[in-house]
Copies of this chain bind each other. A is one copy, B any other.
Amino acid sequence: MSNILCLAESNNQLFNTWQYELTPYLKDSNAYGNIYFARYFEWQGLCREKWFSECVCHNMFELNGSLVTRSAANDYIASIFPFQKVRCLLNTQHIRAASFDLVFRFYDMESNQLLSIGHQKIALIGPESKKPVRFPKEILDKVRFYVTECH
């Protein structure tokens, strides 16, 4: 599966990491010449949805409930520019019965410089109650496959 990468992290632990290569275009830039800060969240969304549909659950709309974003955050380390090749690495963290976190690390593909780090907390809410419900075990097992300790 070409999008999975084994990464040697701190403490000599190996983590399974999902990766995706993306290229920003003019639509993502702004009058300062670099990529607008809000676009990084579109990338978080694109990566999480591609990962989820390819690696966790083929059709998110068939889950017995809705995925909701509880929080989202991004730290901007270096500017990104149109046409720059960017690699996004996705891992999971803090996996609970009804929520888990995603961590996104964006790297320049040529220099391997870390450009940005993002975090999200995702939960599942019931179709009627709109209250948190437990993820099915087969979903959590697949989410756990990508877990990392790194921040």
Main secondary structure of the interface of A (DSSP, over half): mixed
Interface residues of A in 5-62 (CB under 8 A from B): 23, 25-27, 29-34, 36-38, 41-42, 44-46, 49-50, 53, 59, 61
Whether the pair B45, A25 counts as a contact (CB closer than 8 A) is: yes
State in angstroms the CA–CA spacing of A31 and B34 once bound together.
7
Chain A interface residue number, banded: 35 or more
- Counting every copy of the chain, the complex holds 4
- Min CB distance A63 to B, Å, is 11
Contact for A61 among B31, B42, B45, B74, CB less than 8 A:
B31
Say whether A73 faces chain B, with CB atoms less than 8 Å apart: yes
Note all chain B residues with C-beta closer than 8 A to A23.
Answer: 50
Given contacts A71-B73, A72-B74, A73-B74, whether A45 and B26 have CB atoms under 8 Å apart is yes
- Please provide the 8 A-B residue pairs with the shortest distance between their CB atoms, ordered closest to farther: A73-B73, A38-B41, A29-B31, A37-B69, A26-B30, A25-B49, A29-B30, A71-B75
Extra contacts, 5 of them, besides A29-B30, A49-B83, A70-B76 (Cβ < 8 A), are A27-B36, A31-B81, A68-B79, A72-B73, A72-B76
